Amino acid sequence: MNKEKLQQYLRVTIRKLAIWTINKYQPGVIAVTGSVGKTSTKEAILCVLKESRFVRATHGNFNNELGLPLTILGDYQKITGKMFWVKVIFMAVLRLMLPTRGWSAFGGKYPEILILEYAADKPGDIKDLLDVAKPQIGVITAVGDVPAHVEFYSGPEAVAREKSKILEALPSTGFAVLNADDKYVLEMKLRTKAYVMTYGFSDESAIQITNFENRVEGGIPVGVSFKLNYGGSFVPVKIDGCFGKPQVYAAAAAAAVGFAFSMNLVKVSEALQSYQSPAQRTKVIPGIKDTFVIDDCYNASPMSMKAAIELADSMKFKRKIAVLGDMLEIGKYTIDAHVEVGNLINDVFSILVTVGPRSKFIAEAASKKGMPIKNIFSFESADDAKLKVQELMKKGDLVLIKGSHAMELEKVVEEIKIV
């Protein structure tokens, strides 16, 4: 059997086993989707629910046709080696053969709730994943005017339609948790029979975020603080080691899910204190030469890029350096989206370093907006850029590093962070 046929066999086998597992154990399913913020939101929901419920969540971004069924079957992320798939299939079959009590005695009770990410990289992806696991709660984070992976769709409306299929699949007794600040997401409330709960900064949000602040104390970034307002009451929330509006949106979405499970504001606030943003998502870490680095290099879209720039702008540092890579898979929007980012640079950063051919449009736009040419540096790869970034850094700087995953900007982070 060649490699391609083997992979297809594995996909079909894992998918069937996942469907049978769902049918046998009937866990509650929380589906999280959106163009940005899926992983952070999933982690925040896990943080809110894990103290009172037996919950399993997607590891990392296991959110596609193979990753989602794998999450349903078990917690396998620490297993490595050639026998990985043999063990996964063996354990899944054994779990299905044994009676529920027998499996619990054998070594593991099945989770009460699954928190799953549903990726929509191309049309049809959501339906394929729904055929494996239909949720009772659907969370839509954001779409935006230029969504991630829009290259494979006709436009943002098509991306929104794809993601809204999750809401259409919800039962009337379910919950639809929607970002009220995103027009495409808010319009989805018309596409579900489930109870709708909205969150965001806008006045029409059922769960409203107010008094948001990125906290910097004594020149050291500390975390975020904000208030969650719901039903005429509010609670203050402080999360150390967590920064930026995207993380606050994740916390608010998690609060909405908590309310669906009859948690109150105080319990939600207490649970969120232990939330930590996932790796490479607006992590603020110490850098060499007494600097700080915003490590946001996991991925990038126009919406998340602007949010990262806004985060850097909110922090008071002597000097700020932007290290920005290409935003990929945005198709016909590529040039305009990079130019729009470039138009924001001069008001926030003293130095700009770009990585990749598309991000040169960022550099050109920044130059036209008044950034001196001598402060702009463009490179083809992260390997080419990393030593120059190290050279440019001075004591007291803040360095933002962000780009699409394929740009490998984690190499720059590794070069300039304190180990």
pLDDT per residue as tens digits for the range 356-415: 999 999 999 999 999 999 999 999 999 999 999 999 999 999 999 999 999 999 999 999
Look up the CATH number of the domain holding residue 205: 3.40.1190.10
- What phi-psi label fits residue 2: left (phi over 0), alpha (psi between -120 and 50 degrees) or beta? beta
| Statement: residue 65 has pLDDT above 90 | no
Co-location of 179 and 309 in the same domain: no
105: pLDDT strictly greater than 50: no
Residues 369 and 256 in one domain: no
Among the candidates 250, 272, 294, a domain finishes at: 272
Residue with the two structure tokens 């494996």 = 132
pLDDT the model gives residue 80: 62
pLDDT of residue 81: 63
Q: How far apart are CA 414 and CA 285, in angstroms?
A: 11
Which has the higher per-residue pLDDT, 309 or 101?
309
Tell me whether residue 277 is in a domain. Answer: no
In this structure, what are the phi and psi dihedrals at residue 354, rounded to the nearest 5 degrees?
A: -110, 150
Residue 338's domain spans which residues?
283-416
pLDDT band per the 50, 70, 90 thresholds, residue 101: low
Give the pLDDT score at 258. 97
The residue among 140, 341, 348, 153 whose CA lies nearest residue 257 is: 140
Query: Would you state the structure tokens that stand for residue 28, as one six-digit string?
Result: 């509650």
pLDDT band at 51 (very low <50, low <70, confident <90, very high): confident
Point out the domain boundary residue: 241, 272, 303. Answer: 272
In a domain, 19, yes or no: yes
Residue 299, pLDDT > 50, answer: yes
Are 119 and 252 found together in one domain? yes
Residues 71 and 219 in one domain: yes
Token output for 161: 């339609």
Contact 188, 160 (CB under 8 A): yes
- Examine the pLDDT at 75 and tell me if it is beyond 90: no
Interval 256-280 mean pLDDT: 95
Q: Say how far residue 352 (Cα) sits from the centre of its chain.
A: 25
Would you state the pLDDT for residue 8? 85
